[in-house]
Chains A and B, each alone.
Chain A
Amino acid sequence: MKKRGVGIASVMFGFGYGEGFPDHSTASIRIKPDGRVEVKTAAADVGQGVLTVVSQIAAEILGVPVESIDLVNGDTAVTRSSGSTSATRQTFFTGNAVMNTAQILRSIIFDLAVKVYGKTYPELYFENSCVVPHGAEEKKISFAELAKIAAERGEKLEAEGSYFPITTPPDPSNGQGERVYVSYTFVTTIAEVEIDLGTGQVEVIRMVAAPDVGQAIHPQNVEGQMEGGSAQGIGMALMEEILFDEYGTLLNPNLSTYLIPTSLDVPRMQTVIVEDEEPLGPFGAKGIGEPAMISTAPAIINAIYNACGVRIKELPATPEKILRELKKLAAGN
């Protein structure tokens, strides 16, 4: 017999190193002689999309098409530290560093343009890699021309900036602190499972996850993070377990013995992006890396309980464990 159940779980996740550890990111941006924009950061993009996000941020602030951004990445000879790609921190930290740097560069460009035109700031705006005077659009100057003018004057259209917020260590006695993390990401996951009472096999048949990311700078990538994280969460809930023997020898070092979800183990998922702007985030954004997977397993475990009344307290919820608990339940504990 098969039974179905639904479970829900939420996570509140403080991102960045937090707890008083120094945590910062530095970026630099320049206008190249051809007018393209070079963004240098050491943020490692392992597929999560931070370089897409920082390109969008720089393009937005500098009024250039995102295609005209050239990235220089992770080279100790030319980039400063952006900190690690961990702790769900890159969108927030390097995003903020790039935002701050782009703003500095924007003011440097404006400063030069004001001198060139003999006009004040409000009379100028940026559009499509040009500085444009209001009401005299035909007199616009491209970033390439401006870079040339700057070079002739011995100046550079270049800026460096960083983001370095302060956090405080928590009181060890109660875990409380003034500002233990800069900000928090919230995710709620709802899972529906079908459990075979004869075999103890659990199938996740539906999953909806709602991440509060502040502002989704690249919604498709937020979905990608959620879908990937949720798939890992399914693995964590139902199959992934590192087994050692008594001598500490790893018993399941292969992908045929340490199972991770395949395309057949993961249902079609729905991501409902919640945008509640974080005032400290770049354009209101928060990180989504790790919290994407944290509420998945508890939602599934709750769904199992809802389906058949057994409470699995040790992951993963393998068929053996579920059958054992079902037996206990039938025997009146």
Chain B
Amino acid sequence: MGDNRLMIKVTVNDRLYELQVDPELRLVDLLRDELGLTGTKEGCGKGECGACTIIMNGKTVNSCMVLAFQADGSEILTIEGMGDGEELHPIQEAFIRQGAVQCGYCTPGMVLSAKAILDKNPNPSEEEIRKGISGNLCRCTGYQKIVDAIKDAAEVMGGGGDER
């Protein structure tokens, strides 16, 4: 540590951080341990479960598979940046309304994948939604209420999808 630390600048949830990071530090650890943003979960640590999903430069990534220094200069959105601290994001509201949260471990990753889906297509089909969250494993819900929540959010957010 120390000597070979790298200086990075990264914007997380609209806040700019300038940090010294160990070259081996993973992004998930930077977020959770150094920035205290523990909403991002680590499941497998191997890019297989999607629990650690965040949005980096507009795309979902598994934050366990990215080294912190690789995030230099990037814009990151984590679950903490979805609502504004007072109000939840409409996607989060829809997850609650539809009962899409059970243990909650997959939820932060699911919500960010949902956002990425809706950013790309505000009115996605069931198939597109299922494809879009297929990298996020959920052991509790059977996915149906998550899919429903994303449809619901699409409607609320103005996509207007009704091909249920």
Q: Is the CB of A260 within 8 A of B139?
A: yes
The answer to whether residues A46 and B134 also contact, given A260-B139, A266-B142 and a CB cut-off of 8 A, is: no
B20-60 CB contact bits vs A (8 Å, 1 = yes)? 00000000000000000000000110101100000000000
Q: Is the CB of B44 within 8 A of A263?
A: no
> Chain B's interface: helix, strand, loop or mixed, by majority?
loop
* B6 within 8 Å of A (CB atoms): no
From A221, A260, A269, give the contact of B137 (CB < 8 A).
Answer: A260
* A223 within 8 Å of B (CB atoms): yes
* B103 within 8 Å of A (CB atoms): yes
From A220, A221, A255, give the contact of B49 (CB < 8 A).
Answer: A255
* A47 within 8 Å of B (CB atoms): yes
CA gap between A10 and B6 in the complex, in Å:
60
From B49, B134, B140, B142, give the contact of A264 (CB < 8 A).
Answer: B134
Q: Which residue of A lies closest to B46 (CB)?
A: A254
A259-282 CB contact bits vs B (8 Å, 1 = yes)? 010111010110000000000000
CA gap between A269 and B143 in the complex, in Å:
10
From A226, A228, A255, A263, give the contact of B134 (CB < 8 A).
Answer: A263
* B102 within 8 Å of A (CB atoms): yes
* B91 within 8 Å of A (CB atoms): no
* B120 within 8 Å of A (CB atoms): no
CA gap between A231 and B138 in the complex, in Å:
10
The residues of B that contact A268 with a CB separation of less than 8 Å are 126, 144, 147
* A203 within 8 Å of B (CB atoms): no
* B133 within 8 Å of A (CB atoms): yes
* Size range of the chain A interface in the assembly: 20 to 34
From B43, B103, B139, B146, give the contact of A263 (CB < 8 A).
Answer: B146
* B131 within 8 Å of A (CB atoms): yes
* B89 within 8 Å of A (CB atoms): no
Write the nearest CB–CB distance from B96 to chain A, whole angstroms: 11
Q: Is the CB of A231 within 8 A of B142?
A: yes
Interface centre among B104, B142, B143 (most CB of A within 10 A): B142
The answer to whether residues A266 and B143 also contact, given A47-B102, A220-B99, A228-B102 and a CB cut-off of 8 A, is: yes
The residues of A that contact B46 with a CB separation of less than 8 Å are 254-256
Q: Is the CB of A263 within 8 A of B104?
A: no
Write the nearest CB–CB distance from B50 to chain A, whole angstroms: 9
* B9 within 8 Å of A (CB atoms): no
Q: Is the CB of B99 within 8 A of A223?
A: yes
The answer to whether residues A221 and B134 also contact, given A228-B141, A256-B48 and a CB cut-off of 8 A, is: no
Write the nearest CB–CB distance from A239 to chain B, whole angstroms: 13
Would you give 24 A-B contacts (Cβ < 8 Å), ordered by A? A47-B103, A47-B104, A220-B145, A223-B99, A224-B99, A227-B141, A227-B145, A228-B139, A228-B140, A231-B142, A231-B143, A232-B142, A255-B48, A256-B48, A260-B139, A262-B137, A262-B143, A263-B129, A263-B130, A263-B133, A263-B136, A264-B130, A264-B131, A266-B144
Give residues in A with beta carbon < 8 Å to B: 46-49, 220-221, 223-224, 226-232, 254-256, 260, 262-264, 266, 268-269
Give residues in B with beta carbon < 8 Å to A: 43-44, 46, 48-49, 99, 101-104, 126, 129-131, 133-147
